Amino acid sequence: MTGRLCLLLTILLVACALSVVSAQYKARSLFIELERAQSAARQLDVDWAQLQLDQSTLGKNARIEELARRDLGMVPVSAARTQYLTVGAP
């Protein structure tokens, strides 16, 4: 009877030990995954801030005007180049 009880307790102890090891392994794996996700989130925040800065830089009126003059050959409107249309004029 005592031998069987010792054997049963030993099996139970080994099962509990394996359960603890398995739980610790899973916890470490989840922690590593969490760290990777947080690192990716930080990188996305940095990228988002950079994109916002780029958008504000690219959207400035001075830059748009300079590109319009250089690439499209546009010039500002002057009174000499303005044509006025009137309704009913022949």
49-88: pLDDT as tens digits: 999 998 988 888 888 888 888 888 888 888 888 888 888 7
What's the pTM value of the predicted model, to 2 decimals? 0.57
- Per-residue pLDDT for 90 more than 70? no
Cα separation, 18 vs 11, whole angstroms: 11
User: In which band, very low, low, confident or very high, does the pLDDT at 22 lie, cut at 50, 70 and 90?
Assistant: very high
pLDDT at 79 (0 to 100)? 81
Domain boundaries defined on the chain: 2-74
Cα separation, 61 vs 73, whole angstroms: 16
Cα separation, 6 vs 2, whole angstroms: 6
Cα separation, 39 vs 60, whole angstroms: 32
pLDDT at 78 (0 to 100)? 82
